[in-house]
Every structure is written in C-alpha cells, then in structure tokens.
Structure 1
C-alpha cells in the first residue's frame, strides 16, 4: 500500500512546559511522473495513494478523455526511484499537452497556457428544477471532515468528495494538493461511470480558485461547496457556467457567490 504519512522528529513546545523532542506525523509529498506512450508529459507533486484515480481525473481536464473506454491502459510502476503512471489512450482520443514544468502541490495549472473553460462545458450541470437545501450545504464540510483520516494524523492535507442533494458523500480523497484531491475524486467517478456528475456537488476542504472550477466544469457537477473563500476569477467562471458556489461554509454559515436560485431553505 502507498505510504501517505511518515514520521519525523520535531521539537514540541508546550505553552506551560519545557521543549521536548518527539516524533510527529507528516503528510508525504512526492513526485508522480505521467508518461504517454513512453514519453514523460507531466510531473505531479502529490500524496501517494489512488494514483490511478489521480491520473484519470487529470486526463478528464487535460485531454479528450470523457469515458473509461477512452483509456486503453493506466499502469503504475517504480522506475529510477520515482513513481510513474504509464498512459495509453484509445485511438482518436485527444492527448494532453505536455507540461513544461513540475506541477506543484499548490498549483494545478502551472505551466498551462490556456484559461478557457468553454471546451469543457459538455452538458447542463443540473436537471431542470434541481435544487438543494441550504442546510444540506451547511453540513457537507463537517460530514467530509469526519472521514479525513490523513488530516487527523498530520493536519496537512486537503480533501474532496462528491455529494448528492441529500448530503450523501461518495468516497473521500485526500492529498497535499487541493487540485490533486479533486482529480482523485473525478477519476474515481470516471471509472464508476458517474461522469458527467450532473446534480452532484463537489465538496472541497480549502479555497476555490480557477483550477477547482475548471475541474468542476470538466466533471459536469452542479456546484461547489468549500470551507474557504473563492477567488474573483473562480466566482466569475462559476457564474458563467451556471454553477452553485458556496464558500466559507462553517458552523451553519456560508456565503453563496453563484447559483443562489438553486438553494431552498429546507
């Protein structure tokens, strides 16, 4: 099994005690090289675990992959002391553009040169008349938080999940990168035949920037629910694509930046 946490010695300083050395759990961050037909096309800094889901979710945004059958092969291996995923796409599926640099855990669009979501908008994000209760949104971050096992140990990873209008969550995925956690969720949904994820909500543990909206549009979700705030570009893009966007969802309070017409009181 991939190791998502590790231990290092730290000096712990308590408010009313002497400093002491002790082991502490840390989230692992390490490179994952993606190769297409034998050629490296991207290096992702991620937390090991669910690397196949991560790669598939990355392909949903970065290539012509729209269904599981568009992928001929995803194979993990360890080469030159580095984790790798070898990708083979079906004939006729548009390949991803090579990335010139390492994509860090802080940036999902580093080295990309196009900020245009129009090619990703493939279907309406929600059914006619679809709504969700504000109280359901309010409870989603806490529901997801109870399933963040790596965060409990390290305090250093983000999480993502898909939820329906009743508040039921899919599998929760964690990673040091917000966008990686989302890619893992999107990849899992792709393999489960759940894309586009119409009438579903993407729940994220951090802020919402362009890259998160980009991935939400690619997945076809109805909205995004976040613990922290969005950027201005994220709000503009969510409005352009008719997404519900709720941020600062904490302790029963929230800001609704887009799609407030989709909310009901109960």
Structure 2
C-alpha cells in the first residue's frame, strides 16, 4: 500500500538502558471527500466528509463511503474520481453522472470521523442509520471447519500490520473460504469502506454469497456498512457490541465474535453456520 508507513526515530527504553533506534508507524492522514453532481448546466460541488485514514486505495474509500452512507446506490453512478493533494491533506473528488440524483438528506450532519470512529461526526441520532431497508434472506451457509481457518489466512495477508502492528483489516471470503478482497487501514470503518469500494469497482455487488471477516471488534457501524452491501455473514476476531448484535438480528445477518483459537460465539442467525 503506497505511503502506508512512516519511519520515526525513537528512544527505546529497556531495563538495560536507552538506545536510539527507529520504528515503523502506520500512516494516518486526512482525506476529504467531495461530491460533484447535477446536470451539465448546473453542476454543484459539495464537501461530504473528512476522514482520518491510511493513505492508499483512496478511490475505493471514497466510493465505498458514499455507498455505505446511502448517498449513491451503485458504482455506475460515478463518472470519475479525481485525487489531489494540498498542504493540509488529500482530496478525493467524486463526480457523478449527470442523470444521478444523490441522496444528500443527511449530509448536513457534518461527516467528520477519526480513525477510530465511523459515526463520531454525526450530530443527530437519526443520522446514524443509513438506507438499509431489507434483511439478508439469501440462502447461504458456512462450515465451522472453514471458519476456524480464516483468521490465519487474514494474518498471512496483512503486510502492513506485520510491519507496524497498527492497522485493522477487513477481508471478504466466498463460501468455500477463498479470499476475494482484503483491505487494511488505521480506521476499521475505512477498511470496510475500501473493501466495499473495491467490490463495487469489480462489479461484485451485491455481496450475497460472501463472508466478511474483521480483524478487531464488531461495532454497529461495521454491521450497517456490511448490510448495505448485502453481506449475510460477518465474523470478528474480537467482541461485538450490543448495538452490533441488535442491528445484525434486525437485518437477519449472521454475526460471529471471538473467532480465535479454534472457537467462536454465534450471536445471531446461527442457522447459517454448519457444524
């Protein structure tokens, strides 16, 4: 991933003393997402979001964010994405096709998020929900014997995490356990947006025959993003939150937590996991 790491001079303190050395850090920089839309005679530009992310795959991040926030409904809505740099950070400008009307009703809630939070910048309770209006009813199943193997596959494909220890990962698998897409980012919500943006660009949507694996905990915003993409099964190496469980149950998503050391918990829609 381009520019994903930064080298820093440090003082390493041990019981035997202090030594000067260097460390490799996961990069964190701001990305502003702008939207251009409207007919040719009345094109409008609107600032949509500022997010702290690990640089790289910014086009995927912008497209995935606009989709998972319900602003656009498909990748074909996008005419082009332009990346630019300023002294303060990077900008991804997404131009929509002239006939596309974006759903901007919630953009006034001031999207601004840190790497650790996907909904921090939303100023109203009603703003945390996007346009998920159908539950996952696609008839799929996933064997527990394969589920045990996924964290090892994930770790084996995390090059930047191996270097820095500071990135989250989101991975998409098919129902045979084959890894389809993996994305890393300092923000767990950004990793999922990058993954969904990549799936959109590869014309894989909706993701009704896939499993999403998260390298950390499963929060509400990650369940919602997966639901927007039609993902029926979500597994997390860490713990789910109460809101994540409630949301997964409402949308009939299978939610697995604590997937590690040959064990896991099933919180919702257990019938999709076969033993």
Superposed CA RMSD: 1.7
Number of equivalenced pairs: 261
Distance 1:80 1:25, change over 3 A: closer
The equivalent of 1:29 in structure 2 is 28
User: What do residues 196-219 of structure 1 show as CA deviations (whole Å, max 9, x unaligned)?
Assistant: 100211111111111001101011
Q: How far apart are 1:101 and its partner, in Å?
A: 5.5
Q: Distance in 1 between matches of 2:11 and 2:237?
A: 30
User: Is the 1:13–1:19 Cα contact (8 Å) retained in structure 2?
Assistant: yes
TM value normalised by structure 2: 0.89
The equivalent of 1:40 in structure 2 is 47
| Dislocated runs of 4+, deviation >4 Å | none
* 1:69-88 alignment runs, 5 A limit: 69-88=76-95
* 1:1-266 alignment runs, 5 A limit: 2-14=2-14, 17-37=16-36, 38-90=45-97, 91-96=99-104, 97-100=107-110, 102-112=112-122, 113=124, 114-116=127-129, 119-122=131-134, 125=136, 127-128=138-139, 130-265=140-275
Q: Distance in 2 between matches of 1:241 and 1:87?
A: 30
More strand by share: 2
Gaps of 5+ in 2: 37-44
User: Is the 1:121–1:220 Cα contact (8 Å) retained in structure 2?
Assistant: no
SS at match of 1:33: strand
TM value normalised by structure 1: 0.92
Gaps of 5+ in 1: none
Distance 1:87 1:99, change over 3 A: farther
